[in-house]
Structure formats: C-alpha cells, structure tokens
Amino acid sequence: MRFAKYHGTRNDFVLVEDLEATLRLPQDLVAAVCDRHAGIGADGLIRVVRGDASGGAGADFFMDYHNADGEVAEMCGNGIRCLGKYVYDRGLTTATEIDVDSRDGIKHLTLHPVDGVVEQVTVDMGTPALRLGEIPMRGDPASTFLSQPYEVAGRTYLASAVSMGNPHLVLFLEPGDDLEGLDVAALGSLVERRDEFPNRTNVEFVQMVDDSIHMRVWERGSGQTLACGTGACAVMVASSLAGLTGREADVLLPGGRLHVRWGTDDRVLMTGPATWVADGELSEAWIAQATAGSLAGAGGSR
C-alpha cells in the first residue's frame, strides 16, 4: 500500500490514495500506521477518495479522516489543507478552487500555488456551532457555554464550548500564566473524557499576547499535537465572543502560525501551510502483522 506523509503546521498525517474507494482501513491498521515507534508515525490518517466514488454529491474529493487511535472523526482543518496540496501537486486536479467532502459536510478550498507547487491553502470551515445540543455537551440543548467558569484539577478557568464540526472546549489562561510550562497532556486527557462531553472533546489552552492568540492543544483521539486547525478556528470564535480580539487574528501554535477570519456572514476562513514530507510503501507482511495485532504498540497504543 502506497502512502505519502504530509504536515500542516507540524500536525502530521499519512495520506493514502484510494480514488475509487476500494480500500478497507480497519481501526487497528490505522492505529499501527500512526504509531510513532512501530509504524510511520502521524497525528492521523487520511484516505483520499474521489467525490463521486464516495457518494459525495458535488464534491471533487472526499476526506476519510481517522485520528491516531484509528477512530474516524468528523473534520481536520490541517489535514484537509494537506489533502488540497496532495491532489493539486500530483495532478489529480488542475483547479485552484475545489470542494472536499467530509463527515462534517463539504468544505471549499482555495489553493495558492507558487511555481506550480501549493504552499498555502485557505479553507472555508463553515459556521461555528455554539448550542450545547450541536457541540454536543450535556445540558439544555438550546443553551450555550461561553466564558463560563470551568474547574480542572483544582483550578477554575474561564471556558467556552464551540463546535467546528467536532467538539472543542477552550480554556482561557491569565496574562501572567505560563502557557509553555502547562501540563497539557495531564489536563487535556482529564477534560477529553468528562461526562459532559458524550462524544469526548478536543481541549485548547489559550493566552492572548498583544494582538495574537497563543494556543496549545490536546486532540481527542490523538493526544497532544503541535497544531489543530479546527481548534484554531474554535479558539478564534471563542476569543472574539469573549471580547479578547476582533473577528480576525493570527493563531500561534507550537507548530506554526494559522490565520483565521470569522466573517460577518458567520463563516470561518482558515489559511495556513501544507508541506510534503515523504512517500513510501507499506509491505503486505507489515499490514498483515498490524491487522493481527502482533506489532509492538499496534491497536491503540495512543
């Protein structure tokens, strides 16, 4: 099985081309591929399918996205930029405006090639969902959870819940707090599986520095990562609603910078880089071992 490795602001992915939708990728195989010790290593896996082969009416391609633990997820902002670069650079499309279907619906991508190579991609991420029933978060389905106190490990944060097709809880730090020294893994893993999030949640830790939003993230099903595109969009929306910024800002993550604009039409546009790393091939013997669960770390080490 051929694969390609890409990253978007150092949020890294294995991409598998399956244009006619013939491959089966069981959860244990995806988890083994994403394992950083026994596999290729990645924050997630993307199966690239033609839109008509996936049943996505009107879409050019379908992004079948899996978290590093092998479970499918609704959307991945950094991953969809990598898919856009992949299909353009490899000649699967000549268009610089494409529609990509996902489990969160069709997303419109604008590709920005330089000398025939895509370096930046803008994604229309759609409109944020703020009602608890849409996130989902337990409570009155019609209510919201914005700039509310939220206790984690003995400390109370101001927090906001936002969905960008997948659930996010944004925790705001004070200006004097040490964002870099924060134990994101310990705190994020506590919040991810709390009872109030029936589908679990992504967790963002945010601090305003001048006019930029600084962010670290714990991703549902993948753990601590260097960037999260949907998370950056959720953080932008939450920060704007909290009065900490306007409707457009740079979001600075450990892996790099994303620019996010929340338009007056309520749609969120995210622009950021996409980078090719390597191509390779998984042997049939390795795949057989992975699906049998005999590889060290395979089947949910994360």
Amino acid sitting at position 52: D
| Tokens, residue 302 | 């994360």
Q: If phi over 0 gives left and psi between -120 and 50 gives alpha, with beta otherwise, what is residue 21?
A: left
Beta-carbon count within 10 A of 130 CB: 18
227 Cβ contact list (under 8 Å, min separation 6):
8, 9, 10, 11, 78, 217, 253, 254, 255, 256, 258
Six-digit token pair at 73?
């997820």
Task: Judge contact between 248 and 275, C-beta under 8 A.
Answer: no
CA–CA distance, 92 with 71 (Å, rounded to integer): 27
Active site members: 76, 228
